[in-house]
Amino acid sequence: MVEYNSVSRKLFIFVNYTALAVLALLCLLPIINVLAVSFSDSYYVSANLVKLWPKGFTLKSYHFVAETPEFLRSVWVALERLVLGSVVNMLLTIIVAYPLSKESSQFRFRTGYVWIFVFTILFSGGLVPTYIIVKDMHLLDSIWSLVLPGAVPVFNLILLLNFFRSLPKEMTEAAHIDGATHWQVLWSIVVPLSKPALATIGLFTMVGHWNEWFNGLIYMNRPEHYPLASYLQTVIVQRDIALTTDPIMLQQLAGLNNRSVKAAQIFLGSLPIFLVYPFLQRFFMSGIVLGSVKE
Amino acid sequence: MLRRWWANDLPLHIMVWVGLVFVLIFAYGPMVGLVIAFQKFVPTKGLFGSDWVGLDNFHYILSLPDTRQVIYNTVFISIMKLAAGLVAPLLTALLLNEIRLKAFKRTVQTIVYLPHFLSWVILSGILLDVLSPNFGLLNDFIAWLGFDRVFFLGNDHWFPFVLVGTDVWKEFGFGTIVYLAALTGINPALYEAAVIDGAGRWKQTINVTLPGIVPIVVLLMTLSLGNILNAGFDQVFNLYSPSVYSSGDILDTYVYRLGLVNFDFGVATAVGLFKSAVSLVLISGSYMMAYRFANYRIF
């Protein structure tokens, strides 16, 4: 055991801690930088004096963003989408995963059905035909265009059906002998036993809906129907779009730095993620391993 | 028999169909729409009213000088991402695995996973700021070191590497989880045996740890081969600008611009069909390989 106290070992441990600390900082510094900019006075921001700590602390950018009607409206649309989308996704994932988790001997068409779902991961109609379908269904400009096309998340479906299959069969069989229907078995036995898997999928689904921006951009003709992520895409990323045309707001904006306003929007846009992240953390280890490392 | 069908099979069929309806409309419906690739599609005339042009759209694409460049960019960017995306998390997992201080380990893990959960819209906002040539944090650092400032997002030489770098930055923490899980799965008896044979930590890493995770590395590599035509729409779309189209334009962004910006529906769909068809072959191939060599099954 000499090795453990050797000089080279100690050196390695030191280098290792340093390297990992640097990696962690690399992930954190850009976020801290943007936060600092969002809380800083426009004078210091313009002079490029703000690095990792706010200078001339102020909430002006946040006041400005909070008073932008477009921003507030898009938050509302995003919440609407989050609730509707997550409920639809979770219900359909559970209801479809249950029959597909049966053995082929119990449900003959299982494999065929699974392939119909899996094929949609392998091959797709692509952007333009999908857009045309959504248009023909008269979903453009409606919140349902953000919910229905992705109503059945196939990756989650496979994850959940694999989880259902790992549950002990004896419990469901006993329930069937006692006269329970499939519907009863699903909701009173299978679902309660699957809480960890459902929590993982649920959190991923919600994060997905909060972050998704592209559908909102192409299916909504009117910017007032954009969910937050799409709205942020237009104001943060599409560089030459004016933040507002309202004269009073323009006047206010004159005393602000564009960078600070964008930074505030970035922070507000990711705030829910930062808030659920600690909970996410607890679940996702098991969730990801569930989905990625399988025999 | 009928009773069994009524009580057992029918409810199961109904449950499947509740979801199947949506997939048939929104995933299989567009597959029918792929016929646009063989038409001179005019939206007002509809899917079956437009004129059929055979393979004209495909001939036209091949005659465009952009197309070859776009395919090259797509493959180049995704191969680099694939390599970097395998190595970076693997190294991080190996380093983390050597840490004995639980609190430090957990803190590092928590921080490096974080960017994965932020969307490319948010991250682009952050990166546009951090990579800016005038006031960006990274360029301030480069200037402080005495080098010239680099316009990372506007320079077509740098842009593909920026894509790879930022993709690794976003995803390496997440990939680390899988490798850490694989590392904990290695039989501790192997380490004990190695120690008895006089192996130090380095020898243990080479002879026990690495061989222990080769299967999962091979599996992930195989599976990611199927995605070689997916160079990351969200990322490129939110970071690129016309000045870097030459090196940063990928198939998905190309389809977007042809289809929804230029309204060249037939051509855009033809490019999309080409991409989907090649992806189908690649993904099926990689799943078959994963099944044969790693006994991996999706369901």
A59: CB partners within 8 A, 6+ apart: A39
Is residue A41 assigned to a domain?
A: yes
Nearest to A135 by CA among A151, A123, A148, A124: A148
Q: Which comes out higher in pLDDT, residue B293 or A264?
A: A264
- Distance CA(B145)–CA(B123), nearest Å, equals 25
If asked whether residues A42 and A175 sit together in one domain, one would say: no
Q: What ipTM was assigned to the predicted interfaces of this complex?
A: 0.89
If asked whether residues A133 and A255 sit together in one domain, one would say: yes
If asked whether residues A144 and A284 sit together in one domain, one would say: yes
Nearest by CB: A266 against B125, B135, B273 = B125
If asked whether residues A22 and A71 sit together in one domain, one would say: no
pLDDT at A294: 41
Please, are residues B15 and A182 in contact by the beta-carbon 8 Å criterion?
Answer: yes
Report the predicted TM-score, pTM, of the whole model to 2 decimal places: 0.90
If asked whether residues A53 and A172 sit together in one domain, one would say: no
If asked whether residues A43 and A184 sit together in one domain, one would say: no
If asked whether residues A33 and A131 sit together in one domain, one would say: no
Structure tokens at B243: 């000045």
Q: What is the mean pLDDT of each run of 10 residues along chain A (295 residues)?
A: 69 93 94 94 87 90 91 96 98 97 91 95 92 94 96 94 90 90 95 90 93 95 93 82 59 75 94 85 60 42
Q: Tokens 């395998």 map to which residue?
A: B86
Q: Tokens 């695995």 map to which residue?
A: B97
Mean pLDDT (chain B, rounded): 91
pLDDT at A291: 47
Which residues of chain B are within 8 Å of residue A137 when distances are taken between CB atoms? 25
Is residue A119 assigned to a domain?
A: no
Nearest by CB: B12 against A17, A102, A162 = A102
If asked whether residues A26 and A50 sit together in one domain, one would say: yes
Give just the sign of the alpha carbon dihedral A263, A269, A274, A277: negative
Structure tokens at B60: 């036209």
- Give burial (CB, 10 Å; 0-12/13-18/19+) of B283: buried
In which domain, by residue range, is A13 found?
Answer: 1-57
Is residue A196 assigned to a domain?
A: yes
Is residue A217 assigned to a domain?
A: yes
| Inter-chain touch A99–B296, beta carbons under 8 Å | no
Nearest by CB: B269 against A116, A126, A270 = A126
> Percentage of chain B surpassing pLDDT 70?
99
Name the band, by pLDDT with cuts 50, 70 and 90, for residue B198.
Answer: confident
pLDDT in tens, B79-110: 999 999 999 999 999 999 999 898 999 899 98
Nearest to B258 by CA among B32, B27, B9, B41: B41
Q: Which domains does chain B have, with CATH numbers?
A: 64-294 (1.10.3720.10)
Is residue A98 assigned to a domain?
A: no
pLDDT at A2: 45
The answer to whether residue A118 neighbours chain B at the CB level (below 8 Å) is yes
CB environment B222-236: b (16+ within 10 A), e (fewer): bbbbbbbbbbbbbbb
| Inter-chain touch B125–A232, beta carbons under 8 Å | yes
Is residue A109 assigned to a domain?
A: no
Is residue A201 assigned to a domain?
A: yes
CB environment A15-51: b (16+ within 10 A), e (fewer): ebbeebeebbeebebbbebbbbbbbbbbebbeeeebb
Name the band, by pLDDT with cuts 50, 70 and 90, for residue B261.
Answer: confident
The answer to whether residue A17 neighbours chain B at the CB level (below 8 Å) is yes
If asked whether residues A79 and A189 sit together in one domain, one would say: yes
pLDDT at A295: 37
pLDDT in tens, B143-190: 999 999 999 999 999 999 999 999 999 999 989 988 988 898 888 899
pLDDT at B238: 95
* Count of structural domains, chain A: 2
If asked whether residues A145 and A34 sit together in one domain, one would say: no
If asked whether residues A9 and A135 sit together in one domain, one would say: no
What value does the mean pLDDT take over residues B247-253?
Answer: 95
If asked whether residues A24 and A138 sit together in one domain, one would say: no
pLDDT in tens, B14-54: 999 999 999 999 999 999 999 999 999 988 888 888 889 99
Q: What is the CATH number of the domain that holds A248?
A: 1.10.3720.10
pLDDT in tens, A70-80: 999 999 999 99
